Chains A and B, each alone.
Chain A
Amino acid sequence: MLGIGLLQGLAVTARNLIGSFHDPKRFVTTQYPEERTKLPEAYRNFPFLVAENATDPMGTLRCVACQICEKECPPQCIYIEKSKDKKPDANGKMQIYPAIFAIDTAVCMSCQICVEVCPFDAIKMDQVFEFAATDRFNGLVLDRVQLAKPNSYFHGIHPTEAAEVDGRLAAARKAAEEKARLAAAAKAAPKPPPAPKVDPPAE
């Protein structure tokens, strides 16, 4: 019949109009500054530096200022200056550290290449997107204090990836300790037995 389709359409819109008042589940939007949606785990935008310790982030940065990420960065938004002295890293080994580590988020294109090339798992992708600044030159450049975030934060935003990284680092550390112990034992023994085969850490 003529007009039935029109009436059905009107009924649908009326149902939505009335339903949206008593059924909050219907809402497809969130009231952003007050409410926030939980970001999916795979969401990532800008890099941050991983620190082992939340209380002393500057002392426990994983970054050793090798500058690979700086060289690989396609838009060249990373700037690193190496330190003159050395500090013990998480494994107690003396390492140089970045005296200056700056990322210009106005230039960064979120390609994640810095994360992929880093041999130390020191730089990872963050989920913070609120970088609005009144000064587009200095306000958008993040220094190492702003970039450093503890490993626990990394576990919070990307739990799967963080667990995988932690497992790999722990295995590497264990293998290094085992090697050191065997080396010490070999030095103490008068006649060294044939060197035992050490399994490479599982990648």
Chain B
Amino acid sequence: MNPCPSGTQQHFLERAPVLLRDWITSFLPGSTRWLADSLIDIASILAVFGLLFAFLTLAERKVLGRVQNRPGPNRTGWMGLLQPFADGIKMLTKEDVVPRAADPVLHFLAPVALLAFSILTFAVIPFGRNLVPLDLDAGVLYFFAAGSATELAIFMAGWASHNKYALFAAMRALAQLISYELPLLLSFVPVVLATGSLSPTGIVAAQAGWRWGAVPNWLVFTPWGAAGFAIFMISALAESNRSPFDLPEAESELIAGHLTEYSGFKYALFFMAEYFGMCALSGMAVTLFLGGWHAPLPVLEIIPSYAWFAAKLLVLLAGFIWIRATLPRLRMDQLTKLAWKFLVPLALINLGTTAFWTLTHPWEGPLQLLRWGVALGLVLIPPVLLGRGLSSGLGPRRYRYA
């Protein structure tokens, strides 16, 4: 968390987390402060996202309940607010079963590795103006590299369990995660192209300011940015194994998929990793497309930057839950078809759109209208054309004897 060099004195709330950290480390000798700083960063990330995970599970169950016209968990504590802790105690006290045929080392390592890789991704996300745990020059690359390693852990879980359902799930997970890795990566390349930076702080800095004093310079408000954001979020849904892409743990087909042979706290670790992955990908989407920690209006800058980041993150997470409450699961062929025949071509076209957008930056006056028109056309027409081919040969099924 290196304070950004800034000419003007920042708001007190803006500096509060850094001041608190500096106050704590001021009791330590100077030579150990760098270590203490990093440890405090790690501890605060774990605490904040651990609690967010806990209450996200509660919020998810509440929202799913409301969507199905029932109240959701409401017995433990006021409005069920203590439910995550009750669940945690339950998970901790359950028996940890390791199948006799399982590979004990890999079986143990899989949830640990999955969680570790998920937590690693938080390191480079700028949570606020002064809250960047690790400002890497190629932070975005680091983020996706750490995120892709989770696939290995999921396959490890499926392989080590020595269970047919787990192995099926692991193979599905590999097919799905590798398929969606491509559109996920291709959808952020335009951002790198337009901002000229691989560092998350640089990308956030490029989205500062307002057009005509009201429209923020967030990348989602450009035609290619909106398309990239949509592709990124669809791929993020698939990458975090969330409904409608929850094929690896499809309850109705594969018992619990790669979680079949896991119980107790290891099972909880898998869930924690899934939610951490979801939070990290949403945080990256906020950073890449939604302006990071920037406020939407100049007047609203009085609210500290990390609050804006949290608000945007929560909106995206609510979207994840809403989609889970709505959409049914895809079939395996539909899943890969969507990735390879729809999202990858769209992401490649989007790359071209971005190149056009960047090259036409100096255009003025009526040429500006032409620029917007061409870009909007490039963004809106290909999905319609590709969408037709998506279900070709798969007309509505007629039941002749039903």
Mark A residues whose CB is within 8 Å of B. Answer: 1-3, 6, 9-10, 12-14, 16-17, 19-21, 26-29, 31
Contact = CB atoms under 8 A, between A and B. Distances in A.
A16 B327 CA distance: 14
Interface of B: 63, 66-71, 74, 322-323, 325-327, 383-384, 387-388, 390
Contacts of A31: 71, 74
Given A17-B67, A19-B69, 12 more contacts: A2-B383, A2-B384, A10-B322, A16-B67, A16-B68, A16-B69, A17-B66, A17-B322, A20-B69, A20-B70, A26-B69, A27-B69
A13 B326 contact: yes
13 contacts: A1-B387, A2-B388, A10-B323, A13-B326, A16-B66, A16-B67, A17-B66, A17-B325, A20-B66, A20-B70, A20-B71, A29-B69, A31-B74
Interface centre among A3, A9, A16, A17 (most CB of B within 10 A): A17
Q: DSSP majority for the A interface?
A: helix
Contacts of A6: 326-327
Given A9-B327, A28-B70, A29-B71, A17 B63 contact: yes
Contacts of B327: 6, 9
A18 to B, nearest CB: 8
A15 to B, nearest CB: 9
A29 B66 CA distance: 11
A21 B66 contact: yes
Given A1-B384, A2-B384, A13 B67 contact: yes
B70 A12 contact: no
A12 B67 CA distance: 9
Nearest to B386: A2
Given A20-B66, A20-B69, A14 B322 contact: yes
The 8 closest A-B pairs by CB, nearest first: A2-B387, A13-B326, A29-B70, A20-B66, A26-B69, A13-B67, A9-B326, A17-B66
A26 B322 CA distance: 19
Q: DSSP majority for the B interface?
A: helix
A10 B326 contact: yes
A193 to B, nearest CB: 74
A16 B71 CA distance: 12
Contacts of B68: 16, 28
Contacts of B325: 13, 17
B180 to A, nearest CB: 18
Contacts of A1: 384, 387
B390 A27 contact: no
Given A2-B387, A2-B390, A6-B327, A13 B322 contact: yes
Nearest to B390: A2
Contacts of A20: 66-67, 69-71
A31 B323 CA distance: 27
B291 to A, nearest CB: 24
A158 B301 CA distance: 69
Contacts of A3: 387
B178 to A, nearest CB: 25
Interface centre among A1, A2, A6, A21 (most CB of B within 10 A): A2
Contacts of A26: 69
Contacts of B67: 13, 16-17, 20
B66 A12 contact: no
Contacts of B383: 2
Nearest to A12: B326
Contacts of B70: 20, 27-29
Interface centre among B63, B66, B383 (most CB of A within 10 A): B66
A37 B378 CA distance: 58
Contacts of B326: 6, 9-10, 12-13
A13 B327 CA distance: 10
Contacts of A12: 326
A26 B71 CA distance: 11
Nearest to B387: A2
Contacts of A14: 322
B342 to A, nearest CB: 9
A29 B69 CA distance: 8
Given A2-B384, A10-B326, A28 B66 contact: no
A13 B325 CA distance: 7
Nearest to A5: B327
B73 to A, nearest CB: 12
A119 B326 CA distance: 58
A19 B322 CA distance: 15
B18 to A, nearest CB: 38
Contacts of A13: 67, 322, 325-326
A109 B332 CA distance: 46
A13 B243 CA distance: 15
Contacts of B388: 2
Interface centre among B69, B74, B388, B390 (most CB of A within 10 A): B69
Contact of B71 (A9, A19, A27): A27
A6 B325 CA distance: 12
A10 B387 CA distance: 19
Nearest to A14: B322
A148 B70 CA distance: 38
